């Protein structure tokens, strides 16, 4: 199958950025083309996007232009699920640093909800080759926490902290989007801190894994998950914390 050229994606970067910041939608090159063909003149559309968050006519016109794009995405949900888009249980990502290592794995909560689990271990020496896996910390995100985690790794939120895990409610995991990399920390009272930087290539794999688990949990396609995270979860979480979404 011949791929469509993606030059319009670069040419209309301003429009792409405006849609993302105003609505939370992350458009593909083809969807940028579809939006431009929706019948709203480009300069007017950009102006409406600037005023989108104020509601009123601007929001109504933009929502109407985006409606067929979202509808098209939703039609791929069943196909994505059948093709393995939701990610398999047990899928793993291994991240190694000098002082600690992390294994991120697709798992399920005790209620059978798709999520991610984290095995964290500190280094057993100075060379960063051996790790204390026999003393690893195990941390599993709840179904609700998974969406917040995904927002951070996607850059929709700058950071998040997940507390009160474990039998003694003393396990904590935090994730921070530092621009050039992610930084994940897993800790428990009276245990060594496991802190692992995540480079851009691994951050891509981690964000894809998180979105696949959310897709499995909610019976959505991955593009629909990303759109909904930006449009709802990231905005609301930022408002609750008193800070801006990324």
CATH number at residue 194: 2.30.31.10
Is 137 among the domain residues? yes
pLDDT of residue 13: 80
pLDDT of residue 165: 94
Secondary structure E strands in the chain: 92-96, 100-108, 114-122, 137-140, 159-165, 171-177, 182-188, 194-198
pTM tops 0.75, yes or no: no
Question: Do 67 and 129 fall into the same domain?
Answer: no
pLDDT < 70 positions in the chain: 1-11, 24, 26, 73-90, 126-129, 242-246
Question: Do 199 and 96 fall into the same domain?
Answer: yes
**What's the number of domains the chain is made of?**
2
Residues 147/24, Cβ–Cβ less than 8 Å: no
Tokens 């979404």 identify what position?
245
pLDDT of residue 181: 94
pLDDT of residue 154: 94
Is 83 among the domain residues? no
Question: Do 71 and 33 fall into the same domain?
Answer: yes
Is 26 among the domain residues? yes
Question: Do 235 and 136 fall into the same domain?
Answer: yes
Is 63 among the domain residues? yes
Q: Residues 6 or more apart from 209 whose CB is under 8 A from it?
A: 87, 91, 93, 104, 106, 116
pLDDT of residue 195: 96
pLDDT of residue 116: 95
Question: Do 47 and 163 fall into the same domain?
Answer: no
Question: Do 70 and 144 fall into the same domain?
Answer: no
pLDDT of residue 91: 79
Question: Do 106 and 71 fall into the same domain?
Answer: no
Largest alpha-carbon pair distance within the chain?
Answer: 62
* Domain that residue 129 falls in: 92-241
Is 146 among the domain residues? yes
Is 219 among the domain residues? yes
Question: Rounded to an integer, what distance in angstroms lies between the CA atom of residue 72 and that of residue 123?
Answer: 47
Question: Do 139 and 185 fall into the same domain?
Answer: yes
pLDDT digits over 137-180, tens only? 999 999 999 999 999 999 999 999 999 999 999 999 999 999 99
């Amino acid at each position: 199958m011949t791929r469509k050229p993606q030059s319009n994606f670069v040419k209309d970067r301003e429009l792409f950025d405006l849609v993302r910041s105003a609505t939370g939608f992350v458009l593909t090159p083809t969807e940028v083309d579809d939006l431009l063909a929706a019948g709203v003149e480009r300069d007017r559309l950009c102006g409406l996007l600037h005023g989108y968050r104020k509601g009123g006519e601007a929001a109504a016109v933009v929502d109407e232009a985006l409606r067929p794009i979202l509808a098209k995405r939703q039609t791929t949900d069943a196909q994505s699920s059948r093709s393995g888009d939701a990610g398999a249980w047990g899928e793993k990502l291994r991240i190694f640093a000098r002082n600690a290592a992390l294994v991120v794995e697709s798992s399920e909560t005790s209620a059978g909800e798709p999520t991610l689990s984290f095995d964290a271990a500190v280094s057993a020496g100075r060379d960063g080759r051996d790790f204390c896996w026999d003393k690893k910390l195990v941390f599993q995100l709840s179904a609700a926490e998974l969406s917040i985690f995904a927002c951070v790794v996607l850059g929709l939120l700058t950071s998040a902290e997940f507390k009160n895990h474990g039998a003694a409610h003393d396990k904590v995991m935090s994730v921070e989007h530092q621009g050039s990399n992610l930084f994940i920390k897993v800790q428990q009272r009276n245990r060594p801190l496991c802190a692992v930087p995540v480079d851009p290539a691994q951050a891509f794999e981690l964000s894809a894994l998180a979105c696949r688990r959310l897709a499995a949990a909610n019976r959505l396609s991955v593009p629909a998950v990303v759109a909904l995270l930006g449009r709802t979860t990231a905005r609301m979480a930022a408002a609750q914390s008193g800070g801006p979404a990324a």
